[in-house]
Structure formats: C-alpha cells, structure tokens
Amino acid sequence: MSPIMRKGLDVVIAIALTAAAAFIIVVSNSLLVGRATSWQGFNIWYAFILRPDILGTMILTALVTVAYFFWMQGRHRG
C-alpha cells in the first residue's frame, strides 16, 4: 500500500472513530434523559452526523492531524 493510500486510510479511520465517539455520547445521553429510547438516540445521532458543518469539521480535523503527523515524521528522519 502506498504511503498516500495509508494516510488516506488513517483519515477515514479518524473520521469513523470521531463518529463512533459522537454516537456513544448522543445515544447514552438519550438513554439517561429517560424520555427517549436508543432508537431515538440513533436517529438524533444520524441527523447530527449528516449535517454538512459536522462532516466538514470531522474531515478537516482528520486531514490536518494526519498531515501534521506525516510532516513530523519527515522532519525526524533527516
């Protein structure tokens, strides 16, 4: 696998982990409130994740983080 593909995979994994963390927070919050079920929590999370500003923030954060680590690895080699 080429280094660029590996970094792209790192970005996708970071986005998935962020979405999973948001899922756990939103669903557990909906269960703790007591008026909602886990299915309603899933619907709330799904609507939240599909917002363009949330998606953009997750993608931009993952891209910047992976680019920073890629840059730092290049600096420490030489």
| CA max distance for the chain | 58
* pTM assigned to the model: 0.79
Confidence category of residue 40, pLDDT binned at 50, 70, 90:
confident
Does the pLDDT of residue 77 top 90, yes or no?
no
Burial 57-76 (b: 16+ CB within 10 A, else e): ebeeebbeebeeeeeeeeee
The whole-angstrom separation of Cα 14 and Cα 19 is: 9
Judged against a pLDDT cut of 90, whether residue 33 lies above it is answered with no
What pLDDT does 61 receive?
Answer: 92
Tell me the mean pLDDT in the region 17-36. Answer: 88
Residue 49 has pLDDT above 90, yes or no: yes
Q: Residue 75: pLDDT above 80?
A: no
